[in-house]
Amino acid sequence: MPGAPVSGYIWTAQSPRGAVLISHGVGEYAGRYVERYHALIPTLAAAGFTVYSYDQRGHGHSEGRRAVVDLNVLVGDHLKAREALRGRPGDDSPLPLFALGHSMGGLVTAASASRDPRGLSGVILSSPSLLVGEDEPAWLKALAPLLAKVAPVAPVSDLGTGHLSRLADEVAAYEADELMYHGKVRALTAATLLGLSHKLWAEYPNWTLPTLVFHGTADKITDPAGSVRFTDTIASPDKTLILQDGGYHELLNDEPREEIRAALVQWLMDRT
């Protein structure tokens, strides 16, 4: 990715019918989607989708202070990744490209697609952080940008692991993964999540891309009401919302992972 200090990866399908750009959530990294998330990346590659991804700044093997990120910068990186994919040398017949984002990566993906939908054949949002701080008092929201400036690394929020999945082995794997960031959400990350999520609502009525959104109704890490509101707001004639009753934050690591993965792959197959 020219112009971005990130580690990027490609998983190539043997007979590709499409491509998917994956954006991971806060604290994690691209390679986690190979073994976890019900082997999502190998499954996509086997189904004919070449997968591109990268460790976002401050995550995984990429440069930057651990999990201290400005979401607006991450959106810029996502746009650079898409530009690089549009300009692949020797690619005379580019594959349809889909952008998939989970949690924080869902907000980054939504912001990128809203700003410039060119070259995208569709968007998939997994438990996206679209509605942040809805229940927080006004004074705290007003204070967040100031705290981010004076103390960007200050720990402000503990997401915990109790609501990641109902499967104990998945939670244990998360907690044992040394490449994950396991600390509290930092002030800069939290403030820019809040600010970006708020301002994007004015742009969503212009959204016309084919879109799949899935969210668990018992998600305590990101608000499922944001996914409902987003799906109701966008103008796309091709939009699908899967609300998984009782589902936790990482649905592809949760009890319904088989059916969620199947629905995701089928949605892509139907549009390529």
Catalytic site residues?
103, 219, 249
Please check whether residue 219 is in contact with residue 125, taking contact to mean a CB–CB distance below 8 angstroms: no
CA 235 to chain centroid, in Å, comes to 21
Please check whether residue 112 is in contact with residue 211, taking contact to mean a CB–CB distance below 8 angstroms: no
Q: How far apart are CA 152 and CA 68, in angstroms?
A: 7
Look at residues 13, 32, 2 and name the one whose alpha carbon lies nearest to residue 180: 32
Q: How far apart are CA 265 and CA 39, in angstroms?
A: 12
Look at residues 100, 89, 154, 153 and name the one whose alpha carbon lies nearest to residue 128: 100
Please check whether residue 119 is in contact with residue 86, taking contact to mean a CB–CB distance below 8 angstroms: yes
Query: Letter for the amino acid at 239?
Result: K
Cα angle at 249 between 245 and 251, to 5 degrees? 65
CA 41 to chain centroid, in Å, comes to 14
